[in-house]
Amino acid sequence: MAYDSENIFAKILRGEIPCTKVYEDDHALAFEDINPQAPIHVLVIPKAAYVSMDDFTSTASDAEIANFFQAVGNTARQLELAEPGYRILANIGDDGMQEVPHLHVHIFGGKKLGPMLTRD
């Protein structure tokens, strides 16, 4: 799938849509999810244009991949989630029910999160 530069997270990165920023470095931005599914629900995105985790891990450099996962860990530590624990999740494609076609990792925390998946 080609990257759509009009997706909502691309607009956030360009400053065209506001976000509540949690963490930022040269390569990544983390901000609160607009529709939180847990007391803490933050999205971490690379600043470069990648559609999904599949796109990212098949085309990004080793350094970009390392930087991005460091940003996820840095964000969680900044949120003081390392000790109580937290969950990360990335939806990919149709079956993963990915809504926004710019790679993002969800960070959930702030309570016991329960089972990983609901039953059908």
35 or 61, CB closer to ligand 5GP?
35
**Listing from the earlier edge strand, what are the strands of the sheet with 87-89?**
21-24, 28-32, 40-46, 105-109, 87-89
At residue 70, the 3 state secondary structure works out as helix
Residue 36: CB atoms within 10 A of its CB come to 12
The answer to whether 41 and 106 are in contact (CB under 8 A) is yes
Q: Which is nearer to ligand 5GP, 63 or 97 (CB)?
A: 97
In this complex, which beta carbon is closest to ligand 5GP, that of residue 17 or of residue 66? 17
Q: What is the spatial distance between Cα 55 and Cα 5, in angstroms, rounded to a whole number?
A: 15
Instruction: Kindly list the residues in this chain that would bind ligand 5GP in the complex (CB under 6 A).
Output: 8, 17, 19, 31-35, 91, 97-100
- Tell me how far, at minimum, the Cβ of 54 lies from ligand 5GP, in Å: 13
Least distance in Å: CB of 39 to ligand 5GP? 14
Q: How far is CA 31 from the centre of its chain?
A: 9
Nearest distance in Å: CB 34, ligand 5GP: 3
Q: Catalytic site residue 102?
A: no
| Residues marked as catalytic | 104
